[in-house]
Structure 1
Amino acid sequence: MTKQSASKAAFTVSTLEFMRELVQNNNREWFQANRPRYESAKAELCGVTERVLMGLSPFEPLANTSVKDCIFRINRDIRFSKDKAPYKSNLAFAIGPGGRHSGRIDYYVHIQPDNQSFLGAGMWQPTPANLAKFRQEIDYNVQELKDIIEADEFKTYFPEASGEVMKTSPKGYPADHPEIDLLRRKELFFLHRYSDKDVLKPNFADEIVRGCRIIKPYCDLLNYLFFDEKEEPVSL
């Protein structure tokens, strides 16, 4: 870690105040007038991201993954949005091989004032093919998934399961299937929320690493199902 990033490897009250004021003044004129405050907030985001990358390196293959690959721009894409506010109300980074565009299941960190920050990971907006693989795994071998997400440490740290759930049974599965609650899920994304007090702690990056370590088995299972599992040859 560089000296500059080491000194910025934590969030400060000033960053949360800047983000809070940005929500009330979400326009280019105000942002440009307050750009030095944004640059300071971005430096803190980069410092925390770098520290998380270092903390993950013993158990995640993240070679050649840089901070700039992981952090999200604060500018919103407003081309197809009715909301024309030019800036996001949060700071964020995602860590996977190669950064936020890894294409795999990664770790997402969202920083937003007023106790809206969180670490999240899991199945979010899967392709139809990947959702089918997930449901097939539930049908054939649900115990591996349940051993992960029903473990005491996991449930304590990630008490909140987010994502779309079907009101009816998915095609091909009976309504009385013993795992129908899991089968109805179109997304299964787990969250750990952080208070502003948590975000401002000097060891906040280490706490994120702890959360990533806890949810890693779930991410590994999804990555195996979606990307790494070899198709069995068809017997003729």
Structure 2
Amino acid sequence: MASNVTISKEVFDFLTELDKNNNREWFEANKKAFKKQQSEVKNFLEGAKLHLNHHDEIEKMKLFRIHRDVRFSKDKTPYKAHFAGFFSRLGTHLRGGYYIHLKPGRSFLGVGFWAPEKEDLFRIRKELEMDADEFREVINQPELKSIWGELQGDEVKTAPKGFDKEHPAIDLIRKKQFVFMRNFSDDEVLSPTFLNEVDRSYKAIRPYFDLMSDILTTNLNGESILE
């Protein structure tokens, strides 16, 4: 698999037309074009995975289905007007994941912890309650911050149950998600250097993933909980 793959303008052209014609009749009539663009995006994800495996261990790559699950949604349009992929890190000792979202005018990378399990979320909060200094030091590292900016994610309004709303790290403790996002313009996505920029971004988040993996595989005494 070549590692210098790109995203072509045809991918965005197809998604733009799909957004305007989000119905089964149009999609079936243009299924050949969809398959071509889907294959190109999958090729790009394979290239990104190849790069990632030079500095991380990826267990699984997933290209999300373009069909929407409309069962519980008021929006009944049948298709997503974007392509998206996800890379899972290897095993229980490597935590965190890499996401990529390709959509005209709304392309971005996302990394971190979107929906931590209840036990993991409690463990992260207890770590921050005990000592948030190392966490703040990592997320404020110059290279990481210059690429990813500020930590993002949904949060509770005051404090989670059992935590002091006056705690000095309450700004972190109240978070329900621990993610970073990086937006890209269409020109940046279509650039021949986009794959390298994706990889540079993913590589820069490793100190954060390393710290979170350490937190989530130990107890509050720093002892491993892995068998």
TM-score category by the smaller chain?
0.7 to 0.9
Aligned to 1:21, which of 2, 17, 22?
A: 17
Partner of 1:109: 100
Partner of 1:79: 71
Q: Which amino acid aligns with 1:12?
A: S
After TM superposition, the structure 1 = structure 2 runs for residues 44-83 of structure 1, keeping only pairs within 5 Å, are: 44-62=40-58, 65=60, 69-83=61-75
Contact conserved, 1:120 with 1:191, CA < 8 A, in 2? yes
Q: Deviations over 1:81-132 (max 9, x none)?
A: 222211112101111147xxxx952100011101x11111112122221111
Structural RMSD (CA): 2.3
Q: 2:203 is paired with a residue of what secondary structure? A: helix
CA 1:89/1:104 → structure 2, altered by over 3 Å: closer, same or farther?
farther
Shift of 1:143: 2.1
Contact conserved, 1:121 with 1:219, CA < 8 A, in 2? no
Aligned to 1:194, which of 184, 191, 199?
A: 184
Structure 2: distance between partners of 1:212 and 1:112: 19
Structure 2: distance between partners of 1:13 and 1:151: 35
Segments ≥4 residues shifted beyond 4 Å: 230-233
After TM superposition, the structure 1 = structure 2 runs for residues 202-221 of structure 1, keeping only pairs within 5 Å, are: 202-221=192-211
Task: Report how many aligned residue pairs link the two structures.
Answer: 220
Whether 1:93 aligns to 2:85 is yes
Partner of 2:38: 42
Contact conserved, 1:122 with 1:222, CA < 8 A, in 2? no
Structure 2 alignment gaps of length 5 or more: none
CA 1:104/1:27 → structure 2, altered by over 3 Å: closer, same or farther?
farther
170-179 vs 49-58, greater mean Cα deviation: 170-179
TM-score for the superposition, normalised by structure 1: 0.85
Partner of 1:128: 118
Shift of 1:160: 4.4
